[in-house]
Amino acid sequence: MVSALLRRKIVRMFGLDVPQQTIARLETSFSINKTLKKVQKHKWNAYDLQYLLSFSIACFVFFVVTAPGVWFKLSLMSLLALALLLPVTSQFFFPFIPIATWLILYYACQFIPAEWRPSIWVRVLPSLETILYGGNLSNVLAAHTNSFFDILAWIPYGLIHFGAPFVCSIILFLFSPPGTLPVFARTFGYMNLTGVVIQLLFPNSPPWYENMYGLSPANYSMSGSPGGLSRVDQILGLDLYTSSFTASPLVFGAFPSLHSGCAVTEVLFLSHAFPRMTPFLLGYVLWIWWSTMYLTHHYFVDLIGGAILAASCFFIAKRNFLPKIQNDKDTRWAYDYIELGFLPTTKARLTRDFNADDEEWAMGTSSSVESGNISPIDNPASDWEIETLADEKEVINRV
């Protein structure tokens, strides 16, 4: 009896008893023609400028980067184009575009000629730190070091930071409304992309530079430094961080801290999905804030800047695109309709029920939901594609 109840619970939790034509269904088609037809039917608007921005940055990177060679870059671009054309992969790679744009721009920073770049600010962040907090908090926290604190700082800064986006993505995909993961991917990508642009236009030296060179002028020929992570390499007997941070593509990218920005973005999305976990998640933010200052990679003002950037991106996404959590739903497969967070429940609700005939997305208004007809499939006039954030906005405007 207990095993039967447990089986039914597992079946319901992971959607194994849900029909295939649901809003949680993933695209499985390999037909490029299907993607081309959707592009032809798409009504372009201002939100599609995001793709022009990514394309412009990609062109800049293509001509600036000298290694790898042109054939490798062309091959990589061809593979990405194919991934965007195939429906089975485009559903994942379209939301990935902002992340890819951020990564290639970050890599390209090392190839940007120094004469194209602004002067490096060495005194601004230490001065702000003193004015706002009465001293250099990074130096205060790093004044007394030991192996235990080194490992304790390394865990969030050097390990969790790199794995957290993937873990967060999996959790949001499984246990949040359909459509949450693409919003997270875009928010995460644009937050980091904005941060790298700020770092390029407003370069600042980090605390380790002050410890090594004082407040003497910096230049782009200088190498990076692992800061306190060099002690972690010594403890582990490895060369994980010394060589990688020394060859960093963006040595003077102290402000804003993208370690802080990533952590705050992840915590805000997970708190949106699991409000009861908020105190624990805030503890992670404080942990990574301490670690970045202890390891002399950021001033506290950098952390606040990264947090403000992340919070701004999150609230823009939440207001416009993020599906609302329904507390009675355990997983994505339990959702039969979607509400966008900023819409009043009396105005409109979005569903992503598939039409069995043409597999287009469908939209339902609140009246159909409140009358008990959750799926608007019976009304052919309500069929709309909602493939991107721009499409979602277009549907809302029509409502």
For the chain, percent of residues with pLDDT exceeding 90: 56
* Cβ(340)–Cβ(329) below 8 Å: no
Q: What is the mean pLDDT of residues 178-188?
A: 94
Tell me if 327 is assigned to some domain: no
Domain finish residue from 75, 95, 112: 112
Domain finish residue from 112, 142, 165: 112
The predicted-structure confidence for 299-340, as pLDDT tens digits, reads as follows 999 999 999 999 999 999 998 889 988 888 888 888 888 887
Q: What's the pLDDT score for residue 222?
A: 93
Q: What's the pLDDT score for residue 328?
A: 85
Q: Give kind and range of the element (H or E) at residue 281.
A: helix 278-294
Q: For all residues of the chain together, what is the average pLDDT?
A: 81
Tell me if 242 is assigned to some domain: yes
The predicted-structure confidence for 36-88, as pLDDT tens digits, reads as follows 888 888 888 888 898 999 999 999 999 999 988 889 989 988 998 998 888 88
Q: Looking at the structure, do residues 287 and 266 belong to the same domain, yes or no?
A: yes
Q: Give kind and range of the element (H or E) at residue 194.
A: helix 180-201
- Which two tokens mark 127? 């001065």
61 exposure class (CB count in 10 Å sphere: 0-12, 13-18, 19+) = buried
Would you say residue 380 has pLDDT above 60?
no
Q: What is the mean pLDDT of residues 344-352?
A: 42
* Confidence band for 93, pLDDT divided at 50, 70 and 90: confident
Q: What's the pLDDT score for residue 4?
A: 54
The amino acid present at 395, given as its one-letter code, is V
Domain finish residue from 263, 285, 320: 320
Q: What's the pLDDT score for residue 153?
A: 96
The predicted-structure confidence for 131-140, as pLDDT tens digits, reads as follows 988 888 888 8
Would you say residue 264 has pLDDT above 70?
yes
Tell me if 193 is assigned to some domain: yes
Q: Looking at the structure, do residues 216 and 297 belong to the same domain, yes or no?
A: yes
Q: Looking at the structure, do residues 345 and 313 belong to the same domain, yes or no?
A: no
| Angle at alpha carbon of residue 132, lines to 129 and 133, rounded to 5° | 75
Would you say residue 381 has pLDDT above 50?
no
Q: What's the pLDDT score for residue 18?
A: 46
* Cβ(250)–Cβ(199) below 8 Å: yes
Tell me if 267 is assigned to some domain: yes
Q: Looking at the structure, do residues 125 and 87 belong to the same domain, yes or no?
A: no
Would you say residue 8 has pLDDT above 90?
no
Q: Looking at the structure, do residues 91 and 123 belong to the same domain, yes or no?
A: no
Q: Looking at the structure, do residues 152 and 272 belong to the same domain, yes or no?
A: yes
Number of domains in the chain: 3
Give 80 or 5, the one with higher predicted confidence: 80
Contacts of 12 (CB under 8 A, 6+ apart): 330, 334
Q: How many helices (H) and strands (E) does the chain have?
A: 18, 2
Tell me if 389 is assigned to some domain: yes
Q: What is the mean pLDDT of residues 26-41?
A: 86
Ramachandran angles phi, psi of 337, nearest 5°: -155, 165
Give 105 or 24, the one with higher predicted confidence: 105
Give whichever of 12-26, 194-208, 231-245, 384-398 has the largest mean pLDDT: 194-208
Is the bond leading into 207 cis (omega within 30 degrees of zero)?
no
* Cβ(60)–Cβ(193) below 8 Å: no
Q: Looking at the structure, do residues 211 and 267 belong to the same domain, yes or no?
A: yes
The predicted-structure confidence for 72-84, as pLDDT tens digits, reads as follows 989 988 998 998 8
Contacts of 73 (CB under 8 A, 6+ apart): 62, 65
The predicted-structure confidence for 103-137, as pLDDT tens digits, reads as follows 999 999 999 999 999 999 999 999 999 998 888 88
Tell me if 330 is assigned to some domain: no
Give 310 or 380, the one with higher predicted confidence: 310
* Confidence band for 367, pLDDT divided at 50, 70 and 90: very low
* Confidence band for 90, pLDDT divided at 50, 70 and 90: confident
Write the secondary structure of 15-60 as one string of H (helix), E (strand) and C (coil).
Answer: CCCCCCCCCCCCCCCCCHHHHHHHHHHCCCCHHHHHHHHHHHHHHH
Contacts of 362 (CB under 8 A, 6+ apart): 351, 352, 353, 354, 355, 375, 376, 377, 382, 383, 384
Confirm whether pTM is higher than 0.85: no
Q: Looking at the structure, do residues 166 and 219 belong to the same domain, yes or no?
A: yes
Q: What's the pLDDT score for residue 263?
A: 97
Q: Looking at the structure, do residues 358 and 389 belong to the same domain, yes or no?
A: yes
Parent domain of 85:
30-112
For the chain, percent of residues with pLDDT exceeding 70: 79
CA dist 260 and 265 (Å) reads 9
Q: What is the mean pLDDT of residues 340-352?
A: 48
Tell me if 23 is assigned to some domain: no
Tell me if 10 is assigned to some domain: no
- Which two tokens mark 74? 């062309």
Q: Looking at the structure, do residues 97 and 221 belong to the same domain, yes or no?
A: no
Q: Looking at the structure, do residues 286 and 379 belong to the same domain, yes or no?
A: no
Q: Looking at the structure, do residues 59 and 175 belong to the same domain, yes or no?
A: no
